[in-house]
Amino acid sequence: MGAMNIRPFRPGDAALCERILRALPEWFGIESALVQYVRDTERYPTWIAEIDAEPVGFITLHEHFPESGEIHCIALLPERHRGGVGGEMVRFAEAWLRQRGARLMQVKTLGPSRPCEAYERTRRFYLKVGFVQLEEIHGLWPGNPCLVLVKPI
């Protein structure tokens, strides 16, 4: 991996976030959800991960309460998976939230009661970076179980 940098979202970055999401159809194959995630990059705190000044991923956070925050969306070009960039983005988000007074971080993903190899990899990633499974909720996302994971920060 070359020189990595995580920088703040800038005007015009929504298009590059969309390009990254479209490179991940196993995770972001529902068009209406993908479009909403792109819109959300402009209204929630978002950062761009770069390697050698090339954008390779992004992370968007949502602060529900002062003491907690959520990874609203995290995406990384497939050729950069398993290279440490995702973990760095999560650590960056933790530090940013902690600096603002948060003590807890959450993330939601497809629950294990609906088998999917891509999301099994996602769940393993979150466990590897220190999240613990809290609850699987049915009914939040029509037709899809939602796994809530949390992490003290």
Average pLDDT in the 140-149 region?
Answer: 91
Q: Structure pTM?
A: 0.92
Domain that holds residue 60: 4-152
How does pLDDT run across 22-49, given as a tens digit for each residue? 999 999 888 989 999 999 999 999 999 9
Q: Return the exposure string of 58-91: e unless at least 16 CB atoms fall within 10 Å of the residue's CB, then b.
A: bbbbebeeeebbbbbbbbbbeebeeeebbebbbe
Question: Above 70 in pLDDT, residue 129?
Answer: yes
Q: What's the CATH code of the domain at 120? A: 3.40.630.30
Structural domain total, the chain: 1
Percent share of the chain, pLDDT over 70: 99
Separation of alpha carbons 80 and 31, rounded Å: 23
Band (pLDDT 50/70/90 cuts) for residue 114 is confident
Average pLDDT in the 131-141 region?
Answer: 93
- Residue 1's pLDDT is 64
- Count of CB atoms situated within 10 Å of the CB of 97: 23
